[in-house]
C-alpha cells in the first residue's frame, strides 16, 4: 500500500464543492436569486442534528440559500405533509430533503412520495428510482453517486469490470448497482443471504461495501489490485482500553482497512473517503435542480 492507493474523498469533495460554488454564483447572476435547499428535521436525533447543521453550513458556504425546518418529534403526519407541499410550491426552494430516519409514527415512504420528484435531490422518490432503473435522467441518491464519481476519477472507464456491491438497501446498494450497470460493469449484488460471500467478493475488480457491519470485509476476500469503496460508518470502542472504558469510540467502515489496504489497488478510508462526498453531491444535485427549475441550461458534464 502507498499513499497513492488511498482514495481521498475529502479532497475530491472539496473540489466538487468549489465547482458547485462557482456555478451557484453564475446561477444567481442569471436567475436573480440563489439556488435553495430546504432541509426538514423532525425530532431531536443527535446524529441527524449534526448532519442537518453540516448540510446547512455547507449549503451557505457554496453560495446557496439554506431553509431549515425543525419540527418537534410528535409532529403529526398531516402537518409534515403540509410542510412538504408548501416547499413543493415555493419557487425559492429547488431541493427538498427530509432527514431520515423519521420518528416511528411517521410513514417515511408516504413523506418521500409527497416530495415533488423534480425537487427530490436525495433521489429517494420512486419516480427517481424508476428513472435510474430505466436509464433516464433524474436525481440519484447522493452516497452512491459520490462513490461512482470516486471510482470514475480513479479508474476512468469502468466498462467490462466485475463489480460486487455488498448491500441491497434502496438508498445505497440498489442505486449503486444500477449506476455500475449503467457504466457497463458486470454487477453482482450481495446481501445477508449470499452464499460464500468471500468467494463472490474475490471475483471483483470493484468492491462497494454498504453493509453496516464493522470491518467485515477482510484482506483475503480481495482480488489483488481491486478498487475498494467502503460506505460503512460504524462506531466501535476506542482501541485505547482506558479511553474505551470511558466510553470513547472511533469510526470504522465495513472494510477491515488494515488487512485490505495492502491487497487493494485503491481504497477509500473511513473517515475521509465516501462520507464527505454525500453532502457535496447533495449540493451538486440542488444546483442541477435549480437550473432545471429556473429553465437555465447547465452544460452536460459541467458538474
Active-site positions read: 55, 99, 122
Closest separation in Å from C-beta 150 to ligand NDP: 11
CB atoms within 10 A of CB 160: 10
- Please work out, in degrees rounded to the nearest 5, the angle formed at the alpha carbon of residue 59 by the alpha carbons of 54 and 64: 165
Closest separation in Å from C-beta 41 to ligand NDP: 16
Give the whole-angstrom CA distance, residue 288 versus residue 64: 12
Look up cell 469503496; give the residue. 229
Q: Which is nearer to ligand NDP, 123 or 167 (CB)?
A: 167
Q: Which is nearer to ligand NDP, 214 or 298 (CB)?
A: 214
**Beta carbons of 280 and 16 less than 8 angstroms apart:** yes
Rg of the chain, C-alpha, whole Å: 20
Q: What are phi and psi of 268, to 5 degrees?
A: -90, 135
Q: Which is nearer to ligand NDP, 147 or 264 (CB)?
A: 147
Closest separation in Å from C-beta 11 to ligand NDP: 16
SS3 call for 12: helix
**Beta carbons of 28 and 63 less than 8 angstroms apart:** yes
The verdict on whether omega for the bond into residue 98 sits within 30 degrees of 0, i.e. cis, is: no
Closest separation in Å from C-beta 166 to ligand NDP: 5
SS3 call for 96: strand
Q: What is the 3-state secondary structure (H, E, C) of 117-166?
A: HHHCCCCCCHHHHHHHHHCCCCCCCHHHHHHHHHHHHHHCCCCCCEEEEE
Question: Could you tell me which of 186, 185, 190, 177 has the C-alpha nearest to residue 155?
Answer: 185
Question: Could you tell me which of 250, 249, 206, 247 has the C-alpha nearest to residue 230?
Answer: 206
Q: Which is nearer to ligand NDP, 97 or 190 (CB)?
A: 190
Residue nearest to ligand NDP (CB): 169
Closest separation in Å from C-beta 232 to ligand NDP: 4
Buried b / exposed e along 73-82 (16+ C-beta atoms within 10 A): eebeeeebbe
Closest separation in Å from C-beta 211 to ligand NDP: 4
Q: Which is nearer to ligand NDP, 200 or 294 (CB)?
A: 200
Closest separation in Å from C-beta 153 to ligand NDP: 17
Q: Which is nearer to ligand NDP, 104 or 297 (CB)?
A: 104
Which residues of this protein are in contact with ligand NDP, per CB under 6 A?
Answer: 143, 166-169, 171-173, 190-194, 197, 210-213, 231-234, 274-275, 278
Q: Which three cell numbers stand for residue 227?
A: 478498487
Q: Which is nearer to ligand NDP, 88 or 170 (CB)?
A: 170
Amino acid at each position: 500500500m502507498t499513499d497513492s492507493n488511498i482514495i481521498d474523498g475529502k479532497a475530491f469533495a472539496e473540489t466538487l464543492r468549489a465547482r458547485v460554488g462557482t456555478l451557484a454564483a453564475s446561477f444567481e447572476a442569471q436567475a436573480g436569486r440563489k439556488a435553495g435547499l430546504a432541509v426538514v428535521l423532525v425530532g431531536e436525533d443527535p446524529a441527524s442534528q449534526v448532519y442537518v447543521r453540516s448540510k446547512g453550513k455547507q449549503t451557505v458556504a457554496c453560495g446557496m440559500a439554506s431553509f431549515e425546518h425543525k419540527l418537534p418529534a410528535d409532529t403529526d403526519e398531516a402537518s409534515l405533509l403540509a410542510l412538504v407541499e408548501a416547499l413543493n410550491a415555493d419557487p425559492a426552494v429547488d431541493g427538498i430533503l427530509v432527514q431520515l430516519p423519521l420518528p416511528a409514527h411517521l410513514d417515511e415512504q408516504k413523506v418521500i412520495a409527497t416530495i415533488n420528484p423534480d425537487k427530490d435531490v436525495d433521489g429517494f422518490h420512486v419516480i427517481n428510482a424508476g428513472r435510474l432503473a430505466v436509464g433516464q435522467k433524474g436525481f440519484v441518491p447522493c452516497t452512491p453517486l459520490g462513490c461512482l464519481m470516486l471510482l470514475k476519477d480513479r479508474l476512468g472507464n469502468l466498462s467490462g469490470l466485475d463489480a460486487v456491491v455488498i448491500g441491497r438497501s434502496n438508498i445505497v446498494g440498489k442505486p449503486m448497482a444500477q449506476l455500475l450497470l449503467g457504466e457497463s460493469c458486470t454487477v453482482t449484488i450481495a446481501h445477508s443471504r449470499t452464499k460464500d460471500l468471500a468467494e463472490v467478493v474475490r471475483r471483483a475488480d470493484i468492491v462497494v461495501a454498504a453493509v453496516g457491519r464493522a470491518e467485515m470485509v477482510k484482506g483475503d476476500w480481495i482480488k489483488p489490485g481491486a478498487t475498494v469503496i467502503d460506505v460503512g460508518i460504524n462506531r466501535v470502542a476506542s482501541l485505547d482500553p482506558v479511553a474505551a472504558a470511558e466510553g470513547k469510540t472511533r469510526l470504522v467502515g465495513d472494510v477491515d482497512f488494515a488487512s485490505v489496504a495492502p491487497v487493494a489497488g485503491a481504497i477509500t478510508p473511513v473517515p475521509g473517503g465516501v462520507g464527505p462526498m454525500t453532502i457535496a453531491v447533495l449540493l451538486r444535485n440542488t444546483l442541477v435542480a435549480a437550473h432545471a427549475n429556473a429553465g437555465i441550461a447547465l452544460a452536460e458534464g459541467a458538474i
